[in-house]
Structures are given as structure tokens and as C-alpha cells.
Amino acid sequence: MMKKRTNIFILTISIFSLFCLLSFEKIQTTTTVATTIPTPINQVPSITTQKEETNSSLTKKEATLEIPKISLKKDYYSINDSKNTVNIGIEQLSDCKPTENCTIVLAAHSGTSNISHFKNLNQLKQNDLAFITYQNTTYTYQLINIFHEEKTGFITIPKNSYDLVLTTCNKEKQNIQDIYLFIKK
């Protein structure tokens, strides 16, 4: 009788643990990525930091983002590179490669300066294409969704649902950021 109670107790605990684990997995449906995008800028920063000057000869591009519809073709750099900043170009916010099963998150300015590489993202529509060339292979991404969220220094994207996310400041509302969600074709 005691052995039967012990087995029922262990079975009950096991079922409860499995239920908790599955519930936790359902809750974890989004991921949060930190952003560093300030309000849209209209001028190029006039001060070059010593870090940028020192490491410029060591810099090697990670990949190239191309969006033909808006005449954008721009290299971006690895997440640890000194050129990986919106104040120079396109900033990579996630350490993800097109060959991996993860989400590439890129940010850039949307103002009118020469470093506002995402200034024309607002011209994109659903089904438009973007391309990333990485290690001599070009990967195609299709725009699936565009949404806007309050600028908090973070963006929230559905976990493992998108392969490429582009983000920039909204041109009309200072406290809003635009988020463009792509899937790999």
C-alpha cells in the first residue's frame, strides 16, 4: 500500500513538473533586444572617437545588407567591432549570422544625415525583399510585417519567428520606433 502511494505521489509530481515546464515554454514566446537608437539625427557627428581611429585598420565587414527598392546597399560589422554603431553605419544588435537559426537584428538612423541609412525604410511594403550577402552567399528575406512600438531602449520580437529585423526611429513621432520583420526565402 505504501509503495502504491509513493508511486502515485511521484507520478503526480512528474505530471505537475511537466505541466509547469510546458506552461513556461508557452510564456517565453518573445525575445527582447536592446537598442541604442537615439532620436533621428540630421547632422553627422563631428567628433571621431579614439577607439574608431585606432581600430579602423583592423575592421572587417560582417556582411552587406541590400534593399534594392530603396537603393540601400551597406556593409555592417560584427557585434564586437568598433564600427558596429548607429553613429557610423548600421548596427548589429544580435550576434547572428544568416547561416544560423536565429534572428539578425539591425538598426540605423532614419534622419537626413549621410549616416541615416534607414531613412527610406518607411517606403517598404509587405512582401518587399532584402538581401544579406555573407561569406560570398546572398540570402533573400521577405518583409512580412511592420509595426511600431514605444521607444524604450528595447524592442520585443516574437521568438524564433523572424530571420531579419530592421529597426529605426519613426520619422513623425519622436518616442516611437519602427520595426520591420522579415523571413528568409
Please write the tens of the pLDDT for every residue from 54-99.
Answer: 444 457 899 999 999 999 999 999 999 999 999 999 999 999 999 9
Domains and CATH numbers, the chain: 60-185 (2.40.260.10)
Nearest to 64 by CA among 129, 134, 12, 3: 134
CB atoms within 10 A of CB 86: 24
Q: What's residue 29's pLDDT? A: 53
| CA dist., res. 177 & res. 106, Å (int) | 13
> Cell numbers at residue 166, please?
530592421
Q: What's residue 162's pLDDT? A: 92
Residues 6+ apart with CB under 8 A from 162: 103, 144, 181, 182, 183
How far is CA 34 from its chain centroid? 9
**What are the distances in angstroms from CA 85 to CA 14, 24, 37, 116, 169?**
48, 35, 9, 12, 15
| CA dist., res. 130 & res. 121, Å (int) | 11
Q: What's residue 153's pLDDT? A: 87
Q: What's residue 60's pLDDT? A: 84
How far is CA 146 from its chain centroid? 13
> Cell numbers at residue 140, please?
533573400
Residue type, 72: L
Which single residue is written with the C-alpha cell 509513493? 6
With a cut of 70, list the residues of the chain below it in pLDDT. 1-58, 159-160
